[in-house]
Structure 1
């Protein structure tokens, strides 16, 4: 299947640079802001923030699947070394898990919104807190892959190609 891709560049990618981090930043921002708006909406009793939160959650759910598609392709081309393989596997597994969590929360939120758009139950707010925590863990793993192990950076790709790493 890799023969279907164009030749790989100095980042070991068929396109100019990594796309996964670009898309995933939208997911991070929308998921976290949904939780924040829910909390602010509950504390200030401004139910209009619940609507903003719902739409952020909905778009985060759609965007995470785009991020996963690019993430899986880029992970397959990454050539991880040492402990980076373990972290990359955990990052991939948690990414798919987050897609499931976001999908369930969005569905739950749709039902809540359909029944009573003016309030949110406490268990949903708690689930939002768990979502935010999972996002923080996922961001930490992704940062390690880039800033510690340098996956898809030119020096690391060159070192792997030369057999140094």
Structure 2
């Protein structure tokens, strides 16, 4: 599939910032503490501490991998939209650390929020614009990124106009 460069220029610098979710990290910490505390009667405090460290490190790694997957999907969507002629001003974090989400600011006045659940085994992608939202499995979204970017482009930017192929 060949993408065409449109006449409109994008001011996007090509990077999607990191967006970690403190709620997920808190959940990881609480779950690791609970699971580690169950080990106290059987292995003692030292065993529980080791279990907590291992479980917390694994949970943080799972969240980091999920965040990276969602960031790659967001980056891929924006790149394909820019190639299709959408003038993207910037991509920013949508919140102060309480969500894994980014807002794509365009010159056409459409702000699109892309984010989701950033835990790699159950990662979900969500896309919201003008009060309309959609979500899907992040693995499926990444596998079919061309189709996802094209269908979102048509829904968001081409309502009432002749469709353009990305």
Higher relative contact order (CA 8 A, sep 6+): 1
Decide which structure has greater strand share.
Answer: 2
The TM-score with structure 2 as length reference comes to 0.33
The TM-score with structure 1 as length reference comes to 0.33
Larger Rg: 2
